[in-house]
Amino acid sequence: MSSKSEPNFIDLFEIPTVRLDSTLNVVEANGWFNALFGDLAGKAVAEMSADFNERKFIRKTSSGQPYSCGLLSVGDRQVQYSLRLKPFADHFIGVAVDASASAKAEAMLASYSEMIEKQNREIKAKTAQVNIWRDRIQQELQQAATVQDLLVPKHVANRFLDSRCEPLQELSGDFHEVGFHADGQMTFISGDVAGKGIYAAIMLAQTLTAFRASFDRGTLTDVAVNMVAMLEDRFPDGLFVALTLIRQSADRQTVNILNLGNPDGVLIDGDGPVALIPSAGPAIGILPADIYQDLPVSKYNLTDKRLYVFTDGVLDIQRDGYQTGFANCEEVSQFLYALEQTNPRSPLDDLIAIVRANEQIDDVTIACLHADPRHE
């Protein structure tokens, strides 16, 4: 039986490897090690390293951990190596490691750790700044809500008008107001200031002031033109006001309507929706005042009918069994007609109850005008 010689253990590794006896003298080295350091057979570790520490070596290796020490340079070799020693049976195996690469890796790790720490500090600083701004915004929204509560009543009503303005989780600048003429006519406004916060609340206040100073002008376009003329130099950047103006005759049988940027108005009779009344022009704050002079005003007979006008918050109302609001104003008209069938005397009571039950975010403002004094 022929015997095969055992393979040279250290030649199995394609890295510079050396085997040392129990006294840390070199017994053999593989070709990669010899190519770097020459023939070191019989050399002691202390002769190959200037920083070998026997006490540290014993402490490390006795606990099974590797020990590393620097290897002296050979000739003009620039690359620095360290010798990583680990106990193995009755001897030690040493691997030469590029010390510069190791140091570079450690430097990269330190740099990465420093970068992460810097990012953490920046995130903390930005989070603190965000918290400051969040608190300021919350305070501003609270101030704006206070302004809206002071200026805008939740319920404006008389024998021929039922209007609700329901501030909800997110103040959106909704408002309504009515003005009475000396000749018995009534002019009503409802609207929504774009944006939120104290600037929107101030814009709301200015819009109501402009309406009170303008509502008794000759026509609804005259009212709109005068309001825009009073406000056009006061609009903060990005803010505008969607509004609907309605003038009801002294006998309450007819209405003129000028819708500027609000959803379609809805006219309903005993058989269901009769008409949708679209916006005649853009919200105010977008175009110069004289543009509004030539806009068409719609006129309707209210005998045996109800006119509903509302802000965009109504489109977000979530009804039982629906997860989203209305797709369009035609769906709103059918919904309002159904409410009239269940509560003909005060359908808006039911609508507001639904809004509150579903914890809607956006404000809801909706008005119903009619010609029947039996709705007192």
Q: How far is CA 284 from the centre of its chain?
A: 28
Asked if residues 175 and 190 have their Cβ atoms less than 8 Å apart, the reply is: yes
- Asked whether residue 258 is domain-assigned, the answer is yes
CATH number of the domain encompassing residue 338: 3.60.40.10
* Within-domain flag for 183: yes
- Residue 10 vs residue 265, higher pLDDT: 265
Task: Judge if 237 and 168 occupy the same domain.
Answer: yes
Domain-ending residue, one of 101, 119, 142: 101
The larger pLDDT score, comparing residue 137 to residue 7, is at 137
Q: What is the pTM of this model?
A: 0.62
Confidence of residue 6 (pLDDT cuts 50, 70, 90): very low
- Does residue 95 sit within a domain? yes
Question: pLDDT tens digit string along 194-241?
Answer: 877 677 778 888 999 999 999 999 999 999 999 999 998 877 777 899
Tell me, yes or no, whether 354 and 232 share the same domain.
yes
35 in the same domain as 172: no
32 & 163 share domain: no
Range ranked top by mean pLDDT from 70-84, 89-103, 151-165, 260-274: 260-274
User: How do residues 278-295 score in pLDDT, each as one tens digit?
Assistant: 999 999 988 888 899 999
User: Is 56 in the same domain as 167?
Assistant: no
Residue 135 covered by a domain: no
**H/E segment holding residue 275:** strand 272-277
More confident residue, 94 or 145: 94
Mean pLDDT (the chain) is 84
pLDDT at 153: 84
Instruction: Look at residue 112 and tell me if it is in a domain.
Output: no
**Within a domain: residue 139?**
no
Give the residue from 213, 221, 191, 214 showing the smallest Cα distance to 203.
Answer: 191
Domain that includes residue 235, residue range: 152-375
In a domain, 179, yes or no: yes
pLDDT of residue 89: 77
pLDDT of residue 129: 82
Element (H, E) at 294: none
Residue 267 lies in a domain: yes
The total of structural domains in the chain comes to 2
Taking the alpha carbons at both ends of the chain, their separation in whole angstroms is 120
The DSSP code sequence of 175-219 is EEEEEE-TTS-EEEEEEEESS-SHHHHHHHHHHHHHHHHHTTSSS
